[in-house]
Amino acid sequence: MNAAEQAYTPDLACKIAQTALTFKHEFPDAGVDFAPWLRDPDTQSSIDPNSIDLSFYFPRCKPDCQSRCVLVEIRFSGKLPNGTARMVGIEITSFDGRGQKWRFSTVGEWGFSGREIPTPCDRERLKRFCRSTFKLFQISVEPKQ
């Protein structure tokens, strides 16, 4: 669900803003969109209501990251701002003018897949962003070895 629609409380709004700042710390050229999903019924019926979704776009295709736009979906175990909802993972998907380029998930082995994955340096920056996001939402998770 659009991050802008999930900012139910001041604390949650601050965490969403900090998530964006953390990504921009790793990728300073990126712009942020707190409402990446369209409001049409078809789109709304296919999004996860238990996630905070935001996208980041680059002024030009970022060659190292192999991206023009990156969608970040922070998934939770239940509806926010329910006190029992816990962060369960992050899905990051990269797009360019031809569609999806790569995908990364913190579920399982924190692996990248796709037709053109980021450079090793940018893969590490994305993983660092994910670790910081888990810490922000007070969950300690490392990839399975």
Q: What is the pLDDT of residues 13-65, one digit of tens each?
A: 999 999 999 999 999 999 999 988 766 666 666 778 889 999 999 886 555 56
pLDDT of residue 101: 92
Cα gap 120→27, rounded to integer Å: 14
Find the angle CA(133)-CA(64)-CA(98) to the nearest 5 degrees.
95
pLDDT higher than threshold 60 for residue 140:
no
What is the residue type of 22?
T
pTM across the whole model? 0.85
The torsion of the CA quartet 120, 117, 132, 142, rounded to 10 degrees, works out to: -80
Please state the domain extents for the chain: 3-136
Higher pLDDT, 136 or 79: 136
Residue predicted with more confidence, 97 or 104: 104
